[in-house]
Amino acid sequence: MHTVVVGTSGVTASDVLAVARDGARVELGQDAVSALAAAREIVDALAAKPEPVYGVSTGFGALATRHISQELRAQLQRNIVRSHAAGMGPRVEREVVRALMFLRLKTVCSGHTGVRPQVAQTMADVLNAGITPVVHEYGSLGCSGDLAPLSHCALALMGEGDAEGPDGVVRPAAELLAEHGIAPVELREKEGLALLNGTDGMLGMLIMALADLDTLYKSADITAALSLEALLGTDKVLAPELHAIRPHPGQAASAANMLAVLKDSQLTGHHQDDAPRVQDAYSVRCAPQVAGAGRDTMAHARLVAERELASAVDNPVVLPDGRVESNGNFHGAPVAYVLDFLAIAAADLASIAERRTDRLLDKNRSHGLPPFLADDAGVDSGLMIAQYTQAALVSEMKRLAVPASADSIPSSAMQEDHVSMGWSAARKLRTAVDNLTRVVAVELYAATRGVELREGLTPAPASRAVIEAVRKAGVQGPGPDRFLAPDLAAAEAFVRDGRLVEAVESVTGPLQ
């Protein structure tokens, strides 16, 4: 099994995906163990002094003015975890919780948190045992980080609360730790706070969304090309020299992908014989511009994610010169903004895909295709209601595009009076990504049927590869009306797991 070694300098997005989704093992680097021990010496020295130090010998948040005596400090750390584990609502997905735990471990291993090496090792042991704490949907305001979600994870480290075992069964965390020979941690000064105070949940969801969107944007380039073919559109608008004079990198990449899919097609360009149509509709002609803008938004989001992956997010932090300083690095604004940006881009990509689907189904705009791509229009309804479903998904995505980060609600007796809502931005982006997958699947379903109905004209080799693969995947071709939901589900799975991109790349080579 692949092993990810966590050192002091952060981790990569591929490390997060390996641990969160593929169950990769986690090990602490020797540099991390040394840094943990050195920082802990600083915290222990400060704890022994009579002067109060925030997070070490004081209360938290609005209660930071109280100096806590030594005999109560272990209780203080336990209490912050217990009281902050106040999430409600449905359980969060296993991959999100694993990303959350791993990214908190990443910051702990930076040596800036003051946590003992044995606490970090327990975090790694829990991940490696496949134990996943129960984390709930609601509880984070994205500042001071993802407090409630991280608290539920810390609670499991203490042997309290519930967790899911590797068999998928939820049981008391204490039982699961005991079965795997993991001793519950007994938190000391600063450690409870250090386990809670980060942007790890929103960052983990950002990294996974970027991975999913990378596949989806390639998939949308493919379905846009298939729709162009089915509509007998022109591929001349995809010429590299046209995109070079508006040098947005994402736009050029999307146009190149579409051009690669359409290479050697006999369907493109026939609209020149159709006098009323001088040029293709925006949803076809401007596909690279819209998808390209989304790609460039993703590039910015990746930059933010990379910076956050290299960060040590905690308050207070242990600095190399021995100071322990309060700060505001736990504020989730940088991550929250790009999560919202991505939801906007995803909604627009879905919107333009739906417009192409509608055009394929409308006999007045499809240039010779049967109404609703039906076998016997009137007797058959064809894909009429498949487009309704797609439209409903797009409408939902437009609502999800309303930014969470534009909101703020004060908390902690006005001490925490401006928050990022980054966790909420991440949760709605996950829904948007799921819906975009379905929207692209509906366009794929309609476009492949439209291409097949153009009898006498040979589609591009890449298009033929897609049609062959999607039919093998259980998505049926043209014919009389049938129960559509299974076909749509099969098309969704075909897009979601990357088989659509694989089918094209088997002909074209890697897409951009």
Q: What is the 3-state secondary structure (H, E, C) of 157-183?
A: HCCCCEEECCCCCEEEHHHHHHHCCCC
> Please, which residues bridge with residue 7 across strands?
10
Name the H helices within 91-199.
94-108, 117-128, 147-157, 173-179, 191-194
How far is the first Cα of the chain from the last one, in angstroms, to the nearest whole number? 29
φ, ψ (nearest 5 deg) of residue 149? -60, -45
How far apart CA 462 and CA 42 sit, in angstroms, is 62
- The pair of structure tokens assigned to 36 is 């943990």
* Residue among 202, 201, 260, 192 at smallest CA distance from 226: 260
Do the beta carbons of residue 207 and residue 213 sit within 8 Å?
no
Distance CA 226, CA 11 (A): 39
Alpha-carbon distances, residue 91 vs 1, 54, 162, 202, 330 (angstroms): 28, 32, 11, 16, 24
Ranges of H-type helices in 231-327: 240-244, 249-262, 282-285, 287-309
21 contacts 208 by C-beta, under 8 angstroms: yes
User: Tokens 């401006």, residue?
Assistant: 418
β pairing state of 132-133 and 162-164: antiparallel
The DSSP secondary-structure symbol of 402 reads S
Of 104, 134, 302, 334, which is closest to residue 201 (Cα–Cα)? 104
Cβ proximity of 28 and 107 under 8 Å: no
Supply the residues annotated as catalytic.
54
